[in-house]
Structure 1
Amino acid sequence: MSLSDLVAQAFAPDGPLARGPAHFYPRSGQAAMAQAVAQAIHSRERLVVEAGTGIGKTFAYLVPALLSGERVLVSTATRVLQDQLHGRDLPLLLRALALPLRSALLKGRASYLCRHRLELALQGDGAHQYGAQLADLARIERWALATRTGDLAELPELDERSPVLAWVTSTRDNCLGQDCPRFRECHVYQARRQAMSADVVVINHHLFFADLAVRASGVAELLPSAGVVIFDEAHQLAEVATEFFGMRLGTGQLLELAQDMLVIGLRCARGLADWQGVQQRLRLAARGLRLASGGQDDPAAIPGRMRWAGATPDGVDAGRWAAALQAAVDALREALAALDGVTVLAPDLAHLHERTVALLATLLHFSAPWQADCVRWLDRASQLRLNESPLDVAPALHALWHGQPAEPGAWDEEELVAARQGRAWVFTSATLGDDPGLRWFTQACGLEEARILRLDSPFDYACQAALHVPQQLPPPTDPSHSEQLGHWVADAVQRLGGRTLVLTTSLRALEVIASTLQQRLPPGCGIEVLVQGQAPKRRIMERFRAPAGEAGHVLVGSASFWEGFDVPGDALQLLVIDKLPFPPPGDPLVRAQGQRLHQLGRSAFRDYALPAAAVALKQGAGRLIRSESDRGVLVVADQRLLRMGYGKRLLRALPAMPMLESQEEFEAALDAFTRISTTDCPVP
């Protein structure tokens, strides 16, 4: 029996899926996607599928992959979806299909406890630095005694922003590998060993790209033997690949090296070098770089990205910058001098030497002129990062999809032969473009020859949703736009009783809107204002999804809430997007891409900014309707959607839904949610 026949049987009305998962029911779009994936596996094709919300794409790609008999890699953009696939979807399908396959979950190093790093953190020389974070460290220490996987996702109460995490996890730089005294108990290597013997391995995009060339995890070894590779949430693929194929150096790396120099130096070579002096000079070098860039220590600095198109980043004093770079180079060379002669005493010291050499090489690279086919910039946020990325990753990705490794010499001859025999590559997401050819995605990822399939959402947006563009608000370029939108949202939230998500296109807008809402909706008013950054994301999402019997909620979020945040049911019935999500024109990457397109005779706005905005708008709007019973109103607080010519293209990217023309119609729709069953249409 062919794979296509097996898939058809699985999705049949009386098939194993219908008899298994309680929430499964036959969907034509899901069956069509599953057959397309089966064909791609049979023919060793590259398949790109845009599957609208509600298609059920997870089952659509997993069922043919599991039935194929091939080894399968599934890569996602987020660890949340990784956990969902491995912990819920895969076990459910394996039971329903009665398949005796083994699955494994493989994350990056930062997701696993490093027992050796925990021991270093608990030592007296290092633990004093934590201060208020000592409670987190104690919680991790207790959990470490019982955990089998070492996956930090087992600690949902731990704030993912806690600085302690950096001291109890390893990086590629500081991992000792087989020289580690706790190697036999290493959670990272245990996960990799399980992955090597599994039939289905769930990874993430960052891990996939970061480890292909360096062979630092099981991914590089797994890939040549995998017959099927699936990228879910594939719309993020080009961005992640751009990060991987570039170079970066952060002041955080210098600070981590400084701390490890002190702790490891005192533990393994006390009295053989001035370890405190080495630490101090590295810390001063990191601070000097931040100060020279106008970073956090400068009260006049504005966090963000700074273009670096010449010898010096824009707006940075050339003399101060050159002196800061040289000071950092000197500090690293002094660290190497301290390590010379003592590296034989302990593996920790030898790895410190390797880290220092690698950081020095990267810093010297950034001290040299940049290449024309790359873009270089500074990123000023919680730390200063020096970044360089290629302008076009499509050629490298095209080579990868055709059986070539990311770097020469990354695979041996046997692996190359296996890879070139072909494998099926499947790329899927709810948003991959706004044209039939999905060019926004395929051009950036080197997939212009791939087979394309577009499947619209099965949801009845004409009855389940409506669109409103407020006319009384100032244009988005007006400085008062965010504050006035905050007041407008407060009125709507009070009318609806919460159930509102506000997505902003910038952190500045988030701060203004959140502040306005918190003033208008103080504690005790019956509506709780949740704000990204004011609590762990996991906790914010749980509060927002709280049962209807509790207080109403309004959540204000920026980039991390535009995707991967599902709130089915009545907990979300009003979604507000503050502005059309065009790429910021001042961003160095955006400017460089625009200049590259101009040199090629193309339009930066039409061929880059507009399709990117359409995809982002579609992605954000997708938070509203997540099931057949959901009802809600989408608000885009940007009149350009209706008044500018390009607005028609952006409207076409959204699901077809009725327009609420006036404020009165909008308020009537909100009243309908509080007055009648939400099975009724929200449009008056």
Structure 2
Amino acid sequence: MKKYVVIDLETTGHSPTKDDKIIDVGIVVIKNNQIIETKTTLFNPNQSIPPFITNLTGISDDDVKDAPFFHEKADEIISIFQDSYLIAHNVPFDLGFLNAELMNNDKQILHNSVIDTVELSRILFPKAPGYKLVQLAEYLNIVHDDPHRALSDAYVTAKLFLKLAEKINTLPYETITHLLTLEKMLKSDLHELLLERQQALAFSTNENEQIMSFNGIAFKQIEDTTVDTNEALPSFGEYLDDIFEETGSIKQYMKNYEPRPGQRQMSETIFDSFQTKNHALIEAETGTGKSLAYLIPTIYEAVKTRERIVISTYTTQLQTQLLDEELPLIQKLIGFPFKAALLKGKNHYISLEKFAHELNSNPHENYDITLTKAMILIWLTETETGDIDELHLSSSGYLFYKRISTDAEGMIDAYSPWFSKSYYQKARKKAQQADIIITNHALLCTDMFNDYQFLPTYHRVIIDEAHHIEDTASHHYGLKLDNINMLYILNQIGISDEAKLFGKFLAKYSFDQKEVPLEKWDSILADTKYEIDTLFQTLYKYVIAQQKNNKSLSDIGRIQYRFDFAKEESKKWNVIKEMVTRLTFFLRDLIHILAIVEQHFDKDAPLDKHDKDDLHGITKLLQTFIDHLEQLFLLEDIIPQVRWVEIDTKSPKNAVYLYCEPTDVSQLLATDFFDKKDSVILTSATLTMNNSFTFIQDRLGIPSDRLVTKKFSSPFTYQNQVQLMIPNDFPDINYGDTDDFIYATCEAILSLAEITDGRMLVLFTSYDMLRKSYHLLKEIIDTNKYVLIGQGISSGSRARLKKNFQTFDQAILLGTSSFWEGVDIPGDDLSCLVIVRLPFQPPAHPVYEAKSNYLKENGKNAFMELSLPNAVIRFKQGFGRLIRSTSDRGIVFVCDARIMKARYGRHFINSIPEVPITFDSTQTLMSKAEEWF
């Protein structure tokens, strides 16, 4: 009978090599799938416990002063682990610390078989929102009473392990067989657990009818559901009455529903626009309930006319909300069936055929790829979409995923046995049969600029989060190229005798060395990499030399430089153009050799489909490099474009990023989109400036003769929920150094933190200012009391930083551009929003500079028609972070007095809901804030 011993430690720090010590041990013993014993003890570390650790664990110097020393209990701990597996939530940490203490006390270290519950959870619960113990406990409904105390954490880890063992015993035979192959590369010793399951299944039939298998891969069977929507519908007015009236269905199914006048009016506006074949711009402020407002007329119209309607969102978060929350609610509200489908680009969907091929042909890759394969094996038994966005992969995992996405499989024959199992084909089929297709702005724009070949035909579309459509269209019409990615791809392709893409391909086939120019390939590949290095190093030096006069920083601290063929230093620029031309020749030579190789191997017998896909994939990537280089450096513009370079001076690899975008997409959108569609409804909480839609209408090229505009105010009582405060005594940033302004800002943040107990989001427009403020705050703030999180400084994605912010009771989060919107932190988690500067684009920002010049050349005022409207819309988005429900309450503190002093300041004030405004000394504002809270 196997024995499992779970251990958790609390320590004075993170590193036993720096003399950190164990202060708390929790041990839980499992036998026969039952917890049979628990042990815990505090240890005297013979050193003081840092305040941060006391704050985290609740263990103080007084608690351990009479506790035993480690050596007194070492033999007892060793005996507990006799003939057992050692389990921990992050084994390297706990076992590393334990063995360090044993060595320091001249004891034999432990060599037990181990199981790491972090690793095993990532594999067996691939859709979990996070893998910290607290997150997993919440996800799996395990009670966790006392986080960061050793016994409580060990007990929860034991419960977690039992759930993991239970999960293994539900897995199908094929999945277990593949896991047994991968297990050798994992940290955890899972062989016995997996073998037991395989042997139990060896003589049984498939116990789960929902799981099917093909070619050694087990995956969830997806039922084709057909819904009959052929029924007579009432008039739209009656239909709305049935939902919104006193006895309507919305009150029946939404218990806490509060009437929102704007919601029904918005539905009526959209329905009327559909009938009259008009486009519409609709601003629906926070709390209007715009998702329901546009879904109701959209579903009604699609079912009634039997013509599909597309709904496009910018964020996957909103797509998930529509699918998981809004559409099931609508189904209850409306009383008739409808079909909805989600469709994304090919790169989002896994190819089962490619994955099966990778599993069988490359079984022993590095740890990250092995872990990714294991996660995907489990996920395939659960997913109904095959959409990789359901998983949280590492960066290496995503690079592997690119090899197995539907995008990588080339053409798939309708007669192939894999065709009927393709997640992408199923998603397309579902979309073709749907009344409503939900997609993203990226695919909508890709479809638009590629003659509408990616989405099923549609004539009407709802664009939510519409303030993003201009940027998305610009990115999709534009391009991006960088040396890191180019060299990575060439290294993945490799020379002829490497075990990389090209070498593996050659190793599979016998061939005449004279007919396949291998030496030429190796030589040209080396030359190509050398040319990339030389070109991008030259560009790096060129930007450094130019930046004195043209310096701009991106929101993550890169130096940006806009280049313009006509204005560059001709001698140096001609050298760069010559380098680009030489590089394109080398890339063409590589493509030519690939064509010879394919022709040579194909003449005797057809190539394996996967090898052919790989060759075509390589060719396509190399051709993309050529196209992008030519467009960036060699070709004249068909439409006005802005080109710029970003360099990362902190990167050891001298990373250089090249970009190109249209200066103005309004004409493109007018001719390729608005003229071709019957009705485009654009909605967002932030579309107007001074209650006018003129800015967004001009930027998007929407024709006036077919346009309806409406604005629906928020139902929230901002007068009671928000205080807007602006200090009148901050140093003026326009005269002199920014350091005084940053110091005043940090002092205000500190004072406000004392009043609001942290729970503060600070929005910056400049990464440089954020970084300086972060380091100053670190010096002056009580870091034992407040957790300080800085975007680009603290590690993790935006979602991870937000989650960390919500985890701690007293936290301050500093963010730049991506935190100005799309971050929902409702309730008590956020009580104070600080806006450091009004969010104007820096004048030297490449895209702003180019658009600004373009407007000036056309006789327009760039400040009033571009800079100010963009800043106002951004400000509205930032302002909207604070109040997300009727019960939210908080302070918006704007450090920038221009909102009150400058002539254009009223545009910002007039564009947000009416709130009490105090413009006074910092001291007076702090007194008022304290009183208000």
TM-score with structure 1 length normalisation? 0.85
How much does 1:264 deviate?
A: 2.7
- Structure 1 pair 119/380, CA: closer, same or farther in 2 (3 Å)? farther
How much does 1:566 deviate?
A: 1.3
- Structure 1 pair 333/116, CA: closer, same or farther in 2 (3 Å)? farther
Per-residue CA distance 1:609-628 (angstroms, 9 max, x = gap): 11111111111111111111
Contact in 1 for aligned 2:667/2:701 (Cα 8 Å): yes
- The equivalent of 1:558 in structure 2 is 816
Per-residue CA distance 1:453-479 (angstroms, 9 max, x = gap): 012222221211111123343334433
- The equivalent of 2:804 in structure 1 is 543
- Structure 1 pair 172/662, CA: closer, same or farther in 2 (3 Å)? farther
How much does 1:282 deviate?
A: 4.3
What's the C-alpha RMSD, in Å, of the aligned pairs?
3.3
- Is 1:288 paired with 2:534? yes
- The equivalent of 1:648 in structure 2 is 906
1:452-471 correspondence runs (5 A): 452-471=709-728
- Structure 1 pair 447/453, CA: closer, same or farther in 2 (3 Å)? same
**In structure 1, distance between residues paired with 2:573 and 2:406:** 33
- Is 1:613 paired with 2:880? no
SS of the residue corresponding to residue 692 of structure 2 reads coil
Contact in 2 for aligned 1:229/1:426 (Cα 8 Å): yes
Contact in 1 for aligned 2:350/2:406 (Cα 8 Å): no
Contact in 2 for aligned 1:117/1:167 (Cα 8 Å): no
How much does 1:298 deviate?
A: 8.1
Structure 1 residue identity aligned to 2:753? V
- The equivalent of 1:62 in structure 2 is 295
- The equivalent of 2:754 in structure 1 is 494
How much does 1:572 deviate?
A: 0.8
- The equivalent of 2:426 in structure 1 is 190
How much does 1:234 deviate?
A: 0.3
- Structure 1 pair 527/316, CA: closer, same or farther in 2 (3 Å)? farther
Contact in 2 for aligned 1:77/1:205 (Cα 8 Å): yes
Structure 1 residue identity aligned to 2:845? D
- The equivalent of 2:383 in structure 1 is 147
- The equivalent of 1:592 in structure 2 is 850
- The equivalent of 1:332 in structure 2 is 587
- Is 1:389 paired with 2:661? yes
**In structure 1, distance between residues paired with 2:376 and 2:696:** 41
SS of the residue corresponding to residue 147 of structure 1 reads coil
Per-residue CA distance 1:193-226 (angstroms, 9 max, x = gap): 322222211111111011334369641xx2x3x3
- Is 1:243 paired with 2:489? no
Per-residue CA distance 1:552-589 (angstroms, 9 max, x = gap): 22111111111111122111110011111112211222
- The equivalent of 1:416 in structure 2 is none
**Which protein has the larger Cα radius of gyration, Structure 1 or Structure 2?**
2
**In structure 1, distance between residues paired with 2:368 and 2:408:** 25
Per-residue CA distance 1:589-621 (angstroms, 9 max, x = gap): 212221222222221111211111111111111
SS of the residue corresponding to residue 551 of structure 1 reads coil
Contact in 1 for aligned 2:368/2:396 (Cα 8 Å): no
SS of the residue corresponding to residue 370 of structure 1 reads coil
Structure 2: gaps (5+ residues): 1-233, 495-499, 508-512, 548-552, 649-654
- Structure 1 pair 134/560, CA: closer, same or farther in 2 (3 Å)? farther
- The equivalent of 2:631 in structure 1 is 365
Contact in 2 for aligned 1:377/1:387 (Cα 8 Å): yes
1:429-440 correspondence runs (5 A): 429-440=684-695
- Is 1:571 paired with 2:829? yes
1:93-172 correspondence runs (5 A): 93-115=330-352, 135=371, 139-140=375-376, 142-144=378-380, 146-156=382-392, 158=393, 162-169=395-402
Bigger Cα displacement from structure 2, 644-653 vs 202-211: 644-653
- The equivalent of 2:46 in structure 1 is none
Contact in 2 for aligned 1:196/1:218 (Cα 8 Å): no
**In structure 1, distance between residues paired with 2:267 and 2:286:** 16
Contact in 2 for aligned 1:110/1:169 (Cα 8 Å): yes
1:406-485 correspondence runs (5 A): 423-449=678-704, 450-477=707-734, 478-480=737-739, 481-485=741-745
The count of aligned residue pairs is 645
Structure 2 residue identity aligned to 1:397? L
Bigger Cα displacement from structure 2, 437-446 vs 119-128: 119-128
**In structure 2, distance between residues paired with 1:266 and 1:457:** 62
Contact in 1 for aligned 2:369/2:400 (Cα 8 Å): no
Larger relative contact order, structure 1 or 2 (CA cutoff 8 Å, min sep 6): 1
**In structure 1, distance between residues paired with 2:269 and 2:809:** 45
- The equivalent of 1:662 in structure 2 is 921
**In structure 2, distance between residues paired with 1:87 and 1:295:** 50
SS of the residue corresponding to residue 6 of structure 1 reads helix
- Structure 1 pair 605/516, CA: closer, same or farther in 2 (3 Å)? same
How much does 1:39 deviate?
A: 0.9
- The equivalent of 2:153 in structure 1 is none
Structure 1 residue identity aligned to 2:748? W
How much does 1:403 deviate?
A: 4.6
Per-residue CA distance 1:520-558 (angstroms, 9 max, x = gap): 4465x2322223242132222223334xxx522211111
Contact in 1 for aligned 2:540/2:656 (Cα 8 Å): no
Per-residue CA distance 1:31-54 (angstroms, 9 max, x = gap): 111111111122221111011111
1:185-334 correspondence runs (5 A): 185-214=421-450, 218-219=454-455, 222=456, 224=457, 226-251=458-483, 254-255=486-487, 257-262=489-494, 263-270=500-507, 272=516, 273=518, 280-294=526-540, 303-310=558-565, 317-318=572-573, 320-334=575-589
1:40-79 correspondence runs (5 A): 40-68=273-301, 69=303, 70-79=307-316
Bigger Cα displacement from structure 2, 604-613 vs 295-304: 295-304
**In structure 1, distance between residues paired with 2:396 and 2:896:** 38
- The equivalent of 1:407 in structure 2 is none
Structure 1 residue identity aligned to 2:588? R
- The equivalent of 2:411 in structure 1 is 177
Contact in 1 for aligned 2:243/2:333 (Cα 8 Å): no
Contact in 1 for aligned 2:759/2:831 (Cα 8 Å): yes
**In structure 2, distance between residues paired with 1:248 and 1:172:** 22
TM-score with structure 2 length normalisation? 0.64
**In structure 2, distance between residues paired with 1:489 and 1:296:** 40
- Structure 1 pair 151/350, CA: closer, same or farther in 2 (3 Å)? closer
Bigger Cα displacement from structure 2, 327-336 vs 564-573: 327-336
SS of the residue corresponding to residue 579 of structure 1 reads coil
SS of the residue corresponding to residue 318 of structure 1 reads helix
Contact in 2 for aligned 1:313/1:377 (Cα 8 Å): no
- Structure 1 pair 228/202, CA: closer, same or farther in 2 (3 Å)? same
**In structure 2, distance between residues paired with 1:133 and 1:554:** 36
Structure 1 residue identity aligned to 2:636? W
Bigger Cα displacement from structure 2, 376-385 vs 93-102: 376-385
Bigger Cα displacement from structure 2, 653-662 vs 349-358: 349-358
How much does 1:331 deviate?
A: 3.1
Bigger Cα displacement from structure 2, 355-364 vs 557-566: 355-364
How much does 1:26 deviate?
A: 1.7
Identity of matched residues, %? 26
How much does 1:82 deviate?
A: 1.2
Bigger Cα displacement from structure 2, 116-125 vs 78-87: 116-125
Per-residue CA distance 1:344-382 (angstroms, 9 max, x = gap): 442321332233234323322333253384123224267
Contact in 2 for aligned 1:115/1:168 (Cα 8 Å): no
Structure 1: gaps (5+ residues): 405-418, 673-680
